[in-house]
Amino acid sequence: MTSQALALLELGVILFALGICGRVAGRFGMSPIPLYLLGGLAFGRGGFIDLGAATEFGHMASEIGVVLLLLLLGLEYTAPELMTGLRRSWTAGMLDLVANALPGVAVALIMGWGVLGAVVLGGVTYISSSGIVAKVLDDLGRLGNRETPVVLSILVLEDLAMAVYLPILTMMLAGLSLLSGLISLAVALATVTVVLVVALRFGRVVSAVLDSADREVFLLQLLGAALLVAGAASALNVSAAVGAFLLGIAISGSTAREAAKLLEPLRDLFAAIFFVAFGLSIDPTAIPPVLGWAVGLAVVTTGTKIAVGWWAARRQGIRRMGRARAGAALVARGEFSIVIAGLAVAYGKADARLAALASAYVLLMAILGPIAARVVEPVVEFVRRRAGVTTT
């Protein structure tokens, strides 16, 4: 059998298995991300079957998946919304950063992974999954709830924090000297600032350039622009993911809505391959030794996310049930956490146990997040009845 035939067979197996995983997840009302990661673990090194022939395609497809994930996330926001969210909820954002990054930093230092490991794991435990949160809120019919703008504001602040964090992380992983690192960081911050200014003042121009009545032309221009911006951002030591996110912010109005509809199927396909590719890079035998740490981090950061959401909603005058819903909505971790761990793996700077811990942690949190959002109301109602207090 030729290598090309083998690669096609393996790719077919992977895609078909992803479809089954998605169907199973849909039946149970959960995110498919944990199943995609498990699939990667099952078919990667140390798994049941080693599918190595499709690795080259999987690597490139996973890169495209990251770009599309962040491009679609950027399309959900406009530049004014970002600035408004920053002004209203920056204190909640700071609390979110401190409360949820510190547990990851502490575990990395305890495990002896040094400053770089602490920066990586702190990022993994800090950021919620915007994709999972948005889907859960939509599935549960909570998009119009009073607490939802609070949740979205915190997510926006996390995304903005990533625009600064990822260039710093990339700089550290590349092993740049202090001077080179400072220059790289200055270029990254300047790039982010320029793109935000362009998005605020010239978003309509960007949208007009990319828009087209022909769906094929529109798709080619969108995908081409996303990859160009991502590649240019990567060349400037700004994360390709952040470049795609900022491009999404610059596209506004009806163009953004049509772009989201057009790109969603592609996003889902390549993002699924991205999660599988990350799972393929992890040796499942490395997970059991760090599983206890992953469970501990899951418990602690579930509590800290709920506390942050509760506090932020309380500051907006929202009553107890809404505060609980806001906190529970933020629990899930997913795509960004895997992007961070994936960067460390790609640069070869991550301890094998760190990648395994990140994988196990995301598996747990991607499952816990939707469950927490669904059960929070009956749990709070039960507590209310037992305590005899009003929560809604």
Residue 274 lies in a domain: yes
Report the residue count for the chain: 392
pLDDT at 41 over 90: no
Residue with tokens 């490139």: 60
Q: Is 120 within 8 Å of 107 (Cβ atoms)?
A: no
Query: Which amino acid is present at 135?
Result: K
Determine the average pLDDT of the residues in 63-85: 75
Q: What is the pLDDT at residue 371?
A: 86
pLDDT at 106 over 90: yes
For 298-323, the pLDDT digits (tens) are 999 999 999 999 999 998 889 889 99
Residue 392 lies in a domain: no
Q: Is 355 within 8 Å of 334 (Cβ atoms)?
A: no
Residue 28 lies in a domain: yes
Q: What is the pLDDT at residue 178?
A: 64
Residue 310 lies in a domain: yes
Q: For residue 316, give both structure tokens.
A: 């907006």
Residue 296 lies in a domain: yes
Q: Residue 35: give the domain boundaries.
A: 3-387
For 200-251, the pLDDT digits (tens) are 677 788 888 888 888 899 999 998 988 888 888 777 666 676 778 778 878 8
Residue 159 CA: distances (Å) to CA of 32, 88, 172, 319, 335: 22, 15, 20, 27, 12
Residue 241 lies in a domain: yes
Least confident of 41-45, 184-188, 350-354, 387-391: 387-391
Q: Hey, CA dihedral for 108, 112, 117, 119, is it positive or negative? A: positive
pLDDT at 196 over 90: no
Residue 171 lies in a domain: yes
Determine the average pLDDT of the residues in 168-180: 74
For 243-301, the pLDDT digits (tens) are 787 788 788 778 888 888 888 888 888 878 877 777 776 777 778 999 999 999 999 99
Residue with tokens 């007009």: 208
Q: What is the pLDDT at residue 307?
A: 96
Determine the average pLDDT of the residues in 92-108: 94
Q: What is the pLDDT at residue 24?
A: 86
For 47-62, the pLDDT digits (tens) are 556 665 556 666 777 7
CATH code of 29's domain: 1.20.1530.20
Cα–Cα distance for residue pair 333/125, rounded to 1 Å: 8
Q: Which of 164, 161, 229 is nearest to 190 (CA)?
A: 164
Q: Is 369 within 8 Å of 331 (Cβ atoms)?
A: yes
Cα–Cα distance for residue pair 169/191, rounded to 1 Å: 16
Write down the mean pLDDT value for the chain. Answer: 81
| Number of Cβ within a 10 Å radius of residue 216 | 9
> How many domains, the chain?
1
Residue 133 lies in a domain: yes
Q: What is the pLDDT at residue 389?
A: 57
More confident of the two residues 85 and 390: 85
More confident of the two residues 15 and 191: 15
How does DSSP assign 138-189, residue by residue? HHTT-TTSTTHHHHHHHHHHHHHHHHHHHHHHHHHHTT--HHHHHHHHHHHH
